[in-house]
Structure 1
Amino acid sequence: APEQIELALNSEDVRRIWNSGKKVAMIGVENAYPIGEDLSLFKKYHELGARYISLAHNGHSQFSDSNTGERDSIWLHNGLSELGKEAVKEMNRVGIMIDVSHPSKESILQTIALSKAPIIASHSSARAICNHSRNLDDEQLLAIKENGGVVQTVALAAYVSEEKSQARSDYMRQIYIQAADSLGLPYYDRSQFRSLSGEQQQEYMENRPKIRALGNELVASRTNAPEPTNISDFVDHIDYMVNLIGIDHVGISSDFDGGGGIAGWSDASETFNVTLELVKRGYTKEQIEKLWGGNLLRVLDEVQAIAKMLQQ
């Protein structure tokens, strides 16, 4: 639908498309694993429109250790591999933002030390508030500030409040089991999906919306349900990071396509609720603009300007 949405390759594109009334699309690659060992493909990805890439995802890659190594203390590279260090240089050269939301702490600190350009954490929150390996501790946050980068606070319940998220998840699982039973349908946890047969996976996809809809109806009438992670909890992370590293280094992300969503901001239609909470807490229009993409676009501009210099 080109009359409704358009691909942006730089900050000027973003503002032009937005001012035209269209939706803005940008391409990010959440795992560099498919690149293999051919560093020239970073340039190819850039030519195809990719403007940020992460060197690892939920598992170690040939470039970088992942935060998931904290589960078993097994690491492949103790940070970046030699190939990963070269990848950092190549992304700087071609003008791709380096995303550090999924790599390990050691990988992140090594990336910052090597990078000639600001980096981003596209979807991470504050570990001081929620002690999850996907979040960033104060040392990492301060290093990103020093680097000139930006951290996009993420509205994924388990990264905002692990305690509230787990309590709610455990409770809702029992509700969904009851809902499935009343509908005469089999119940499978999302974590089981890969181990299911093809037929069972099809059942899961067809039945999940029905089970969740009924389960949500059931829980709405109950007063003893654990409170879900909400917008106030989420903005607490923004407050914390703004106080620690400054308004110029903090942003906002939803991760709706990766498990994100909290009470009050469960999809794009509820986005205004986040802005409303920020206003209630005293954030100015200028500050809110920085949080809602202004800081990220500033980093994109700087990354692209540095790439031009490196290519001379």
Structure 2
Amino acid sequence: MSKVFDAHCDALLKLWEDRTLRFARGDERLQVSLPEMKRGNVHIQVFDVWVPTEHKGARAYRSAMEMIKIFHQQVAVPPVTAIYSRGDLEQCVLKEKKGAILFIEGGHPLGHDLGNLHELYRMGVRGIGLTWNIRNQLADGCLQPSPRGLTLFGRQVVREMNRLGMMVDVSHLAEPGFWEVLELSSTPVIASHSNTRKLCDHPRNLTDQQIRALIEKDSVMGLTFVDMFVTSEKRTVWIDDLLRHLDHVCALGGLDHVAFGSDFDGTVERFGDLSSAGEYQRLVNALLKHFKEDEVKKIMFENWLRVFQNVLQ
């Protein structure tokens, strides 16, 4: 079974919304849980804090802290290890432990206060997706009409994240902000859960020009399992549909720069043959029919491992 590194899931949101759920116990309502990670051989999982956008100001920050508390109380407990540093990551790999990395999806919990970034870092957050779909204090999201780039505060946040060794995530970011981040960031960035716009023309997906720019910066994009970002057709989506996106990225020279960010627990619709983390080995087996074993290892684990090692301190 190939090891899996998944760069995006929303299990924390479900655990926060329904306090009867237990990550360690597992539940059919959770696509990512400890039993599912074991079944799918998911060794490292990024857990995102997504605060509903109607939560503003101090309320958004409090909601983020509540989800972070759930991460520490339910998720990052033995046999799962919290990953805060490059050393933690390497120890997880060396000792074959399961690891959990904490991200924020959408920078609105930061408010306008750089001190909030420092406190989130102190609480274990090691990556931030700068926006969700709409405008916030950092930048415009991909669904914002007539989008602009980074705000002055957004530029300050990117620089400070670089200094702290945090992952800058450009998924959901509008194109003007995407290009500013790539120019501004002194470290590789990631697109944790985005597909290719060439095959599915959705603003959440990346153009060929954007993908080539990520490759040039030694960055990595994670293909996501959300049906509307895989195909514009209204039908059940399958692994083979996702593999077309993978083939396209590889054709652009991206074999060392593509991986997966499932977005499990962040969407209602599910693939016909990939509906939870426990089914990840189905994807591995499909890849092995098209790629060499060492290439599959890159896509499933090593590409994410490299870029996280390059950024975390």
Q: TM-score, normalization: structure 2?
A: 0.72
Amino acid of the structure 2 residue aligned with 1:294: E
Q: What is the one-letter code of the residue matched to 1:34?
A: P
Deviation (angstroms), 1:154:
0.6
**Could you say which residue in structure 1 is the equivalent of 2:56?**
none
**Superposition map of 1:244-255 within 5 A:** 244-255=252-263
Q: Distance in 2 between matches of 1:302 and 1:15?
A: 12
Conserved 8 A contact 1:42-1:94: no
Q: For the residues of structure 1 that align with 2:123 and 2:213, how far apart are their CA atoms?
A: 31
d(CA) in 2 for partners of 1:230 and 1:119? 28
3-state SS of 1:68 partner: coil
Do residues 161 (structure 1) and 231 (structure 2) align? Answer: yes
Cα 1:293–1:6 shift into 2, 3 Å: same
Letter paired with 1:66 = G
- Is the 8 Å Cα contact of residues 238 and 250 (structure 1) preserved in structure 2? yes
Looking at CA atoms only, which structure, 1 or 2, has the larger radius of gyration?
A: 1
Mapped partners of 1:84, 1:154: distance in 2: 25
Mapping for residues 202-217 of structure 1, pairs under 5 Å: none
Number of positions where the alignment pairs a residue of Structure 1 with one of Structure 2: 237
Secondary structure of residue in 2 paired with 1:277: helix
1:286 to 281, 290, 294: 294
| Equivalent position amino acid for 2:239 in 1 | I
- Find the counterpart in structure 2 of residue 238 from structure 1: 246
Alpha-carbon shift at residue 47 of structure 1 (Å): 2.2
Pick the aligned partner of 1:13 from 82, 88, 111: 88
Letter in 1 for 2:221: V
**Cα deviation, residue 146, structure 1:** 1.3
Higher relative contact order (CA 8 A, sep 6+): 2
Superposition map of 1:93-112 within 5 A? 93-112=163-182
Q: How does 1:1-312 map to 2 (within 5 A)?
A: 2-17=77-92, 20=95, 22-69=97-144, 73-75=145-147, 78-163=148-233, 166=234, 168=235, 228-259=236-267, 261-281=270-290, 283-304=291-312
Instruction: Assess if the C-alpha contact under 8 Å between 2:158 and 2:168 holds in 1.
Output: yes
Percent pairwise identity: 33
Q: Which runs of 5+ in 1 are unaligned?
A: 169-227, 306-312
Higher helix share: 1
Q: CA offset at residue 126 of structure 1? A: 0.5
Structure 2: gaps spanning 5 or more residues:
1-23, 25-76
SS for the counterpart of 2:156 is helix
Separation of aligned partners in 1, 2:211 and 2:80: 33
Distance in 2 (alpha carbons) for counterparts of 1:139 and 1:17? 35
Distance 1:23 1:162 in 2: 35
| DSSP-derived class of the 1:131 partner | coil
CA shift, 1:35, in A, is 0.6
Whether the 8 Å contact between 1:10 and 1:300 is mirrored in structure 2 is: no
Q: Please give the alpha-carbon distance, in whole angstroms, between the structure 2 residues aligned to 1:261 and 1:298.
A: 29
CA RMSD of aligned residues (A): 1.7
Distance 1:247 1:10 in 2: 26
How far is the alpha carbon of 1:298 from its aligned partner?
1.3
* SS of equivalent to 2:195: coil
For 2:229, the aligned partner's letter is Y
Change (3 A) 1:9 1:286: farther
TM-score (norm 1): 0.72
Deviations 1:202-253 (A, max 9, x none): xxxxxxxxxxxxxxxxxxxxxxxxxx11000011111110121321111112
* 269-278 or 32-41, which deviates more: 32-41
